[in-house]
């Protein structure tokens, strides 16, 4: 009876983790590293269906995937982490792509909250019929 709430609840958890990963990527988009090290690696959430097609499953976070640590080398001789040639390494993260991912995650989160509210209202209405 409460499968809809469980499925939406699992999706809320995945969308929240997705938003966390994207916000971490955006927060570190300008994080410099020495050229002899790796740049900040973009983090992506891997989601997986649970009991797909049964109507009782939902979704879960199966893990995380990480982008390349190669990044992009920028000539910035006044930076404290610059090498002898004046270069530092920055993550190769596209802000436009991250904002798109953030909007998609937010919309999914909002849609699942709306689904949970509708299911809750339907269950409350059903309980009211028994009082009549």
Is position 35 within any domain? yes
Q: Which long-range contacts (CB under 8 A, 24 or more apart) does 48-52 make?
A: 50/10
CA 72 to each of CA 22, 85, 90, 94: distance values in angstroms, whole numbers, following the listed order:
19, 15, 5, 12
Is position 89 within any domain? yes
Which class for 16: exposed (0-12), middle (13-18), buried (19 or more C-beta within 10 A)? Answer: middle
Which pTM was predicted? 0.84
| C-alpha–C-alpha distance, residues 97 and 22, integer Å | 10
What range does the domain containing 79 cover? 3-127
Cα 124 to chain centroid distance, Å, stands at 32
CA 66 to each of CA 5, 49, 69, 108, 126: distance values in angstroms, whole numbers, following the listed order:
31, 20, 9, 22, 46
CA 52 to each of CA 7, 11, 60: distance values in angstroms, whole numbers, following the listed order:
11, 13, 11
Number of independent structural domains in the chain = 1
pLDDT in 10s for each residue of the chain, 132 residues: 567 788 888 999 999 999 999 999 999 999 999 999 999 999 999 999 988 777 667 899 999 999 999 999 999 999 999 999 999 999 999 999 999 999 999 999 999 999 889 888 888 888 888 675
φ, ψ for residue 113 (rounded to 5)?
Answer: -65, -45
Is position 48 within any domain? yes
Is position 132 within any domain? no
Is position 17 within any domain? yes
pLDDT for the residue 55: 62
């Amino acid at each position: 009876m409460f499968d809809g709430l469980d499925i939406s609840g699992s999706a809320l958890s995945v969308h929240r983790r997705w938003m966390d990963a994207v916000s971490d990527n955006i927060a570190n988009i300008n994080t410099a590293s020495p050229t002899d090290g790796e740049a900040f690696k973009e983090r992506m959430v891997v989601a997986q269906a649970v009991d797909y097609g049964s109507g009782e499953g939902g979704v879960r976070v199966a893990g995380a995937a990480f982008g390349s640590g190669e990044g992009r080398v920028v000539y910035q001789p006044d930076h404290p982490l610059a090498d002898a040639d004046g270069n530092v390494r920055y993550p190769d993260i596209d802000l436009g792509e991250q904002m798109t991912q953030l909007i998609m995650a937010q919309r999914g989160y909002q849609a699942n909250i709306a689904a949970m509210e509708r299911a809750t209202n339907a269950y409350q209405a059903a309980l009211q019929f028994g009082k009549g």
